[in-house]
Structure 1
Amino acid sequence: MSGRLSGKVAIITGAGSGIGRASAKLFASEGAKLVLGDKTAAVHETAAMIGDNAVALEIDAGVEADVQKLVATAFDKFGRLDIAFANAGVSGGMNGIFDLEPDFFAEVLRVNLIGPWLMVKHAGKAMMDQNEGGAILLTASVAGIRSGAGGPAYSASKAGVINLAMTSAQQLTGTGVRVNALCPGLTETGMTKPTFDYAKDKGVMDKVGRLNPLKRAAQAEELAQAALFLASPEASYVNGQALAVDGGLSSSHPVTRQLTGQTAV
């Protein structure tokens, strides 16, 4: 199959639903062979949608042995590794700083930040040894750019992911391996399902995503398109960056009101 990822082998975590599943389907349509990981059995459904060019593993993205297994499987099944998309994450809730327990905060960091670091560590080393370059994508969030888009634990973890992408790009200098962070805004996925279900039940879907200039939430497929760009040769000179795909939300500081032709205060 020809395509932008023809001949490439990619790992995608969090592939059981949402951005991970949408990216898996899109990457496959562009010619990639895939190793898909998720903590739920739904990852097998994603692989079944793709066919023989996808292998599914039930894993914990924050456990080193599981990340190593993903990398090893790429080489065992397909003989190489070109792309690693550390997409798995947890929401962390909206509890305030004073309502969080250390164990909970640590668990959010384990999955959302240590998980991506483990992918850089093992996938990055494998790509470096392969000596043909590669692309590593880390799912961060607009919540990691500034306050206001998530709870404290989640936001702190995603800010760490953004810095991890920058630091890792520098650490991999000279290897041809690029590392970038994808920063979604509000996107309709399994993780955000409660928000969307509540809005649908209350008949207020028109209010979902209204704070960004496009005045709507994103669909997982829109984030998958951005991930495809970062993974593809088209982004060959994009490295160490945090790409916000948020309808313009992070382009402004919050204001009390926005009136066309008037100064917002």
Structure 2
Amino acid sequence: MSGVLSGKVAVVTGAASGIGRASARRFAAAGARVLAFDRAAAVDEVAAGIGDGAIAMEGDAGAEADVAAAIERAVDAFGRIDIFYANAGIVGQASGGIFDTTPEVWAETLRVNLIGPFLTVKHAAPRIAGFGGGAILCTASVAGLRSGAGPAHYSASKAGVINLVQTAAQQLAGTGVRINAICPGLIETGMTRAAYDHARAAGKLDRIGQLNPLLRGGEPEEIAEVALFLVSDAASYVHGQAIAVDGGLSTSHPTVKRPGDQRGAAW
């Protein structure tokens, strides 16, 4: 899909690593001018590696002032904004059920994972509409589709992203701005690095992703390819959808039941 974003301007959050980095690079390769946004300083290296006038900005994707500033910086630097990919997210606490996580963990996870995309819609949609329309994309997760793919606080935040996209699609009617969510499965990113590193150390890397029908984990570049489609004009009739890219995991979300997993076991 070379050149499909020619003349477009895109902001990508969480762009310092993983899916965000892969997507920023892919959008640029397809012709977009890119603002790479992340709270990690490594985002500077990503922008430098992209070249072609890409710029980096450090900030918090869950902070309203920072999201608004990223949009305005893109407009100031490139003269317009057509695409905003709200990809930044955190897992919060990597493990634990409802009964052993704190309200603070829930609040911070929701702030970044759900309030961040809300702020994107609030601030990016009017600006994108003002330049003739475009696309907003949010990273949700297969964990947001149903139970069995992540801790409760993370799963709830991603379910919220999916509903936000559906609700926003209705409220964006007539604006020329499309919005969709992408739902990655098991992808090797910073969130999953510990699991991948443990598997490598144990010589069991081939067991990663064995619960999905493709029998493997995914790569950030595989998500970036779908992201490119969803923000391009090739997806001009795709709106308000949550697209799973998960090797088939969400066809069942298989889990292993163990003694002690029953109701009230954590009390």
With the length of structure 2 as denominator, give the TM-score of the two structures: 0.93
Separation in 2 of the partners of 1:89 and 1:185? 14
Separation in 2 of the partners of 1:25 and 1:185? 21
Q: Which residue of 1 aligns with 2:235?
A: 235
Deviations 1:22-80 (A, max 9, x none): 01111101100011100100100100111142110111000000000110011100010
Matched, 1:250 2:262: no
Structure 2 residue identity aligned to 1:105: W
Aligned length in residues: 255
Q: Is the 8 A contact 2:140 2:183 kept in 1?
A: yes
Matched, 1:26 2:14: no
Q: Which residue of 2 aligns with 1:261?
A: none
Q: Which residue of 1 aligns with 2:196?
A: 196
Stretch deviating more after TM superposition (215-224 or 186-195): 186-195
Q: Which residue of 2 aligns with 1:263?
A: none
Matched, 1:113 2:107: no
Q: Label 1:255 to 1:185 Cα distance change in 2 as closer, same or farther (>3 A).
A: closer
Counterpart of 2:57 in 1: which secondary structure? strand
Q: Which residue of 2 aligns with 1:54?
A: 54
Counterpart of 1:187 in 2: which secondary structure? coil
Counterpart of 1:218 in 2: which secondary structure? coil
Counterpart of 1:223 in 2: which secondary structure? helix
Q: Which residue of 2 aligns with 1:154?
A: 154
Separation in 1 of the partners of 2:72 and 2:133? 18
Separation in 1 of the partners of 2:190 and 2:152? 20
Give the superposition deviation at 1:255.
Answer: 7.1
* Aligned-pair Cα RMSD in Å: 1.3
Deviations 1:180-204 (A, max 9, x none): 0000000001221111001111111
Matched, 1:95 2:101: no
Separation in 2 of the partners of 1:169 and 1:81? 19
Matched, 1:223 2:209: no
Q: Which residue of 2 aligns with 1:182?
A: 182
Q: Is the 8 A contact 2:148 2:253 kept in 1?
A: no
Deviations 1:140-170 (A, max 9, x none): 0000000011000000000000011111111
Structure 2 residue identity aligned to 1:229: F
Q: Is the 8 A contact 1:169 1:239 kept in 2?
A: yes
Counterpart of 2:129 in 1: which secondary structure? helix
Q: Label 1:255 to 1:75 Cα distance change in 2 as closer, same or farther (>3 A).
A: closer
Q: Is the 8 A contact 2:148 2:255 kept in 1?
A: no
Q: Is the 8 A contact 2:7 2:33 kept in 1?
A: yes
Give the superposition deviation at 1:85.
Answer: 0.1
Stretches of structure 1 lacking an aligned partner (at least 5 in a row): 257-265
Give the superposition deviation at 1:13.
Answer: 0.2
Q: Which residue of 1 aligns with 2:13?
A: 13
Stretch deviating more after TM superposition (167-176 or 247-256): 247-256
Separation in 2 of the partners of 1:184 and 1:246? 5
Q: Is the 8 A contact 1:28 1:53 kept in 2?
A: no
Stretches of structure 2 lacking an aligned partner (at least 5 in a row): 257-267
Give the superposition deviation at 1:128.
Answer: 2.1
User: Percentage identity across aligned positions?
Assistant: 62
Runs of 4+ more than 4 Å apart: none
Give the superposition deviation at 1:96.
Answer: 1.1
Q: Is the 8 A contact 2:64 2:119 kept in 1?
A: yes
Structure 1 residue identity aligned to 2:248: G
Give the superposition deviation at 1:110.
Answer: 0.1
Q: Label 1:30 to 1:253 Cα distance change in 2 as closer, same or farther (>3 A).
A: closer
With the length of structure 1 as denominator, give the TM-score of the two structures: 0.94
Q: Which residue of 2 aligns with 1:69?
A: 69
